[in-house]
Chains A and B, each alone.
Chain A
Amino acid sequence: MTTVSAPTLRIEALHKSFGDLEVLKGIDLAVAEHEVVCLIGASGSGKSTLLRCINLLEPIDDGRIFVAGEEITAHGVDVDRIRRHIGIVFQAFNLFPHMSVLDNVTLAPRRVLRTDRPAAEERATALLERFGLADKRLDYPDRLSGGQQQRVAIVRALAMEPRLLLLDEVTSALDPELIAEVLAVIRELAGEGMTMVIATHEMGFARDIANRVVFLDEGRVLEDGPPDRMFREPAEARTREFLQRIIEAGRL
């Protein structure tokens, strides 16, 4: 099924409801390899739900999702195998509090990929070192600052060497002075060509880092385009309204 030219992620007519509430009303989206796509939009526009659907954490109602050409929403697909290749980082970090930082990072490589402990720890330590966390590797998550915890969560996802990384408002739970260190990590990943879909409220960051900005409005992709155009001259009135509110709130 895999073809050379297949985009890393392709979504076709994705629908998702929670009870009577239709959160995603037919999303179409394609993300090429090495592309960084930022999802923007008001709270409740469906950004988080979309990311959770891509990672198969939420069952979808209709539509199809392809990763590297393979349909991951097909019946009978091994979801555990799919998830190995898709990393996700959550707003609330969701580190495992009963494990040290090192064990958090090595759990999946050891249990899922069956990497032996020394090799997994060596790799994890190298990753932690790269993101300035080597001295924290024996600490438990509750001892770390929010920014450190979120960086550990990113490292934990990277340890599985995902071909696609999903970031779900990863700075929204952080104190302002801790946001920069997390954004710096994401910037570095973008520079290395990591394919990412980022739901964010940090418009300045989105403008800097994104190859493409997608504006979600009430469960639909209202418009998308390069950040320069999206932030300077959005085509849709709703997008302009949204950005105006953001500017008034001092977030751009």
Chain B
Amino acid sequence: MARLTVGGSGRRALLIAFVSTVVFFGLIAFLVVNAPGWDQVRRQFFNWDNFFASAPGIVARFEVNVRLFLIAEVLILTLGLLVAVLRGLPGPVLFPLRLLATAYTDLFRAVPGLLVIYVLGFGVPGLRLPGVPNDPFFWGVVALTLVYSAYVSEVYRAGIDSVHPSQAAAARSLGLSQAQALRFVVLPQAVRRVIPPLLNDFIGLQKDTVLVSFIGVVEIFRQSQIRSSATFDFTPYLATALVFVLLTIPLARITDWLVAREKDRRYATSVRATGQRGRRGRFLGGGG
């Protein structure tokens, strides 16, 4: 977790950083504003009347995306862990399970997510099998879960592999079964280590919920599309982008905080145990 730093110390470094930033972004702003098509772009992308008119409808539709990614994330964290554990099972008898888990991750990481959404959202209901739902929201959740679980299982697996074998050996030597060693010793350490990459995938999932609009779910992107085509104006997309930014940035900070808290707890001094708080700040420091 590299922290954003000025890259030096003292007032001089601060001043140089400030001037360089102003010049850099000023130059970009100057180029954009003086571009030949700027006036038209400004009218179509930064129409504040349209922005405020479309914003409430867009924000309201975001509820669909939130439901999509919350339901899918719970399923992903579960299925991803299951697949990761299956891939790590020992012994020749369980080879078919390992094969299945490996084939699954290979396939669903290879196929573009949008294609999975299309195939499941249009194809499966098209079979008209009795009892199979044809709700695009349902198939959207299924498709996102299948695609993201494949990635997340690899994240979990990397975490499991990062726990030194001596940990499992110590657990087994105390009489814990293989499953208990995994459950109480290996997985808790593995999961703690992969929280940042898991959050990374969670943010990716949040953004990919807009793909579900292609099979007919009216969510935030579809809503902004509707607004946009009614007014020939792209400002609703800007509002949509802003909603995602406002969601993901706090999430990234929360992860940083979770990681710092975990480190703080593990390396806390015994003074902490008697009630005094340790200094958390140093763990947020560069490279920490």
Contact = CB atoms under 8 A, between A and B. Distances in A.
Interface of A: 55, 57, 80-81, 83-84, 86-88, 90, 92, 94-98, 107-108, 111-112, 135-136, 138-140, 142-143, 156-157, 160
A90 B166 contact: yes
Nearest to B262: A98
B162 interface: no
A39 B34 CA distance: 83
A112 B176 contact: yes
Contacts of A156: 174
What 7 pairs between A and B have smallest CB-CB spacing? A108-B174, A84-B175, A94-B170, A112-B175, A83-B175, A88-B173, A138-B273
B20 interface: no
10 contacts: A55-B173, A80-B172, A83-B173, A83-B175, A95-B170, A96-B171, A97-B266, A143-B269, A157-B173, A160-B174
Contact of A92 (B166, B172, B174): B166
A157 B266 contact: no
B176 A98 contact: no
Contacts of A81: 175
Contact of A140 (B170, B171, B267): B267
B175 A94 contact: no
Contact of B169 (A94, A97, A135, A139): A94
A94 B171 CA distance: 9
Nearest to A166: B173
Contacts of A111: 176, 180, 184
Nearest to B170: A94
B109 interface: no
B105 to A, nearest CB: 27
A98 B266 contact: yes
A97 B162 CA distance: 14
Contacts of A80: 172, 175-177
Contacts of B277: none
Contacts of B171: 96, 107
Contacts of B268: 139-140, 143
Contacts of A84: 174-175
Contact of B192 (A90, A98, A107, A108): A98
Contacts of A86: 173
Contact of A160 (B167, B170, B175, B189): B175
Q: Which of A97, A98, A107, A156 has the most CB of B within 10 A?
A: A98
A232 B172 CA distance: 40
Contacts of A135: 270
B275 to A, nearest CB: 11
A139 B174 contact: no
B185 interface: yes
A107 B189 contact: no
A97 B189 contact: yes
Nearest to B164: A94
Given A107-B174, A156-B174, A143 B270 contact: yes
Interface in B165-206: 166-167, 169-177, 180, 184-185, 188-189, 192
A80 B173 CA distance: 8
Contacts of B188: 98
A169 B192 CA distance: 31
Interface string B248-285: 00000000000000000111111001000000000000
B274 to A, nearest CB: 9
Contacts of A87: 173-174
Contacts of B266: 97-98, 140, 142
Given A90-B170, A94-B166, A96-B170, A143 B267 contact: yes
A121 to B, nearest CB: 16
Contacts of B176: 80, 107-108, 111-112
Nearest to B273: A138
A88 B184 CA distance: 19
A86 B188 CA distance: 26
Interface string B144-177: 0000000000000000000000110111111111
A159 B258 CA distance: 33
A87 B177 CA distance: 15
A112 B175 CA distance: 6
A139 B172 CA distance: 23
Given A107-B184, A143-B269, A112 B174 contact: yes
Interface string B232-243: 000000000000
